[in-house]
Every structure is written in structure tokens, then in C-alpha cells.
A and B are shown apart, each in its own frame.
Chain A
Amino acid sequence: SQQGEEDPQALSIQEGENATMNCSYKTSINNLQWYRQNSGRGLVHLILIRSNEREKHSGRLRVTLDTSKKSSSLLITASRAADTASYFCATDARGNNRLAFGKGNQVVVIP
């Protein structure tokens, strides 16, 4: 079964607004990652947060991790039309090299 599991949201926002999506998981993890997928393409790694970290920033991205609640959030600030994509969280359990992906959040940014 998949560990990462996003809130099944389809977000539609205006350019310039912020987009927030959430992810929950079930077991202990080594790290949690977020990936982006444009329609019909492969996934692109966005950001990795380790289990001992609570927050991480990368450009317009902000990720939080709450291991007590087994949840993470991804915030995209000042969204652009090019941010239109599906966003997946993926967990890496300790001692395991497989990534368990959630179902993804589809984000549409309207110019």
C-alpha cells in the first residue's frame, strides 16, 4: 500500500496566489519528498525534507513536516501559470529504497 497520500484536491487558483497541498503517511519515514509532474511527462524532484527537519524552503516552495501527525504540506507562493501540474508526495521508509507515492494533487494556475 502507498504510504504517501495527498488530500485528493484539485486546486484552481489565479496567478499570483499561493497554493497549499497536504500529504499524510502511515509509517515511519527516513525522508519525504515532493515531485511535480506535467501532463503526460515524467516526475521532477522539487524538494526533500528529512525526518528530523520541520520546515524547508527552496525558492517559492515551502515544505513542512510533522512526524507526530505523519503529515506534510507543500506551499507554492506567488504561483505562475507554469506551476500548473500534478504534485506528488513520496515517502522513503528507513532502510528501503523504494518511494511510495500518494495519488497527487492537480493544480491549475489561471493566468
Chain B
Amino acid sequence: DTGVSQDPRHKITKRGQNVTFRCDPISEHNRLYWYRQTLGQGPEFLTYFQNEAQLEKSRLLSDRFSAERPKGSFSTLEIQRTEQGDSAMYLCASSPLRANIQYFGAGTRLSVL
């Protein structure tokens, strides 16, 4: 399978714990995006990378959130000191450099108890 993969698919955690999600984009795609989606809403942009450089971050990405793409391949999104309001689907997408069609993974559903 050469699509975007995300791991884990589901994560249940207690409030205050840290969680980390992984995204493996389509191998030849330079750009990688993270979005958050809550029930009944469309995805909201969080951040994006071009190769290993994080080029833009949304105001939604508070200090508790950090994303990395150390070698320009896979990316991780970490949430520290999780809160119940962090419960959502976290979607990763990738795209080639000269196109803005984004290819999405199946997402990681986070439930904070």
C-alpha cells in the first residue's frame, strides 16, 4: 500500500497524559499536513511541513502541541498534558510539491477521558 498511513488508529488516554501520533506520507511527497477534525465539522488545519521544515502553524496549535518531521519523511504529532478538549480525529495528509491535491490517511481518533 503506497497511501498515507497513520498510527495508531485509535488512542484512549487519561487527561494529563502525553500522546504521540505518527504519519507516514506517500514516499515521493514533499509536503505533509496535520489537521484536526471534531464530530460534525470539517478538518481544521494545524501545521504543515515542506520536507523537514515546518513552514506554518495554526493558532490552534497551542504550546502543548509539537510536530516534527526530522528527515523529511515520516512525521510525529505530540500532545502534552492532554485535555478533554483534545478529543478529536487527527488527520495527516501529503501532497507533491507543485500540486495542492492532498492525500489523506485514515486518521488517529483520540479520546481523552
Contacts and interface: CB of A to CB of B under 8 A. Distances in A.
A33 interface: yes
Contacts of A90: 42
Interface stretch (B13-21, B63-71, B77-85, B103-111): B103-111
B55 A42 contact: no
Contact of A88 (B4, B33, B42, B89): B42
A100 B103 CA distance: 15
Interface string B10-47: 00000000000000000000010101000011111100
B40 A43 contact: no
Interface residues of A, number: 24
Name the interface size band of chain B.
Answer: 20 to 34
Given A97-B31, A100-B45, A101-B43, A41 B107 contact: yes
Contact of A97 (B4, B35, B56, B103): B56
Contacts of B106: 41-42
Nearest to B45: A98
B71 to A, nearest CB: 20
Nearest to A88: B42
4 smallest beta-carbon distances between A and B, as pairs = A101-B42, A42-B104, A98-B45, A43-B104
11 contacts: A31-B100, A33-B101, A35-B104, A41-B107, A42-B105, A45-B103, A97-B56, A99-B43, A100-B45, A101-B42, A103-B42
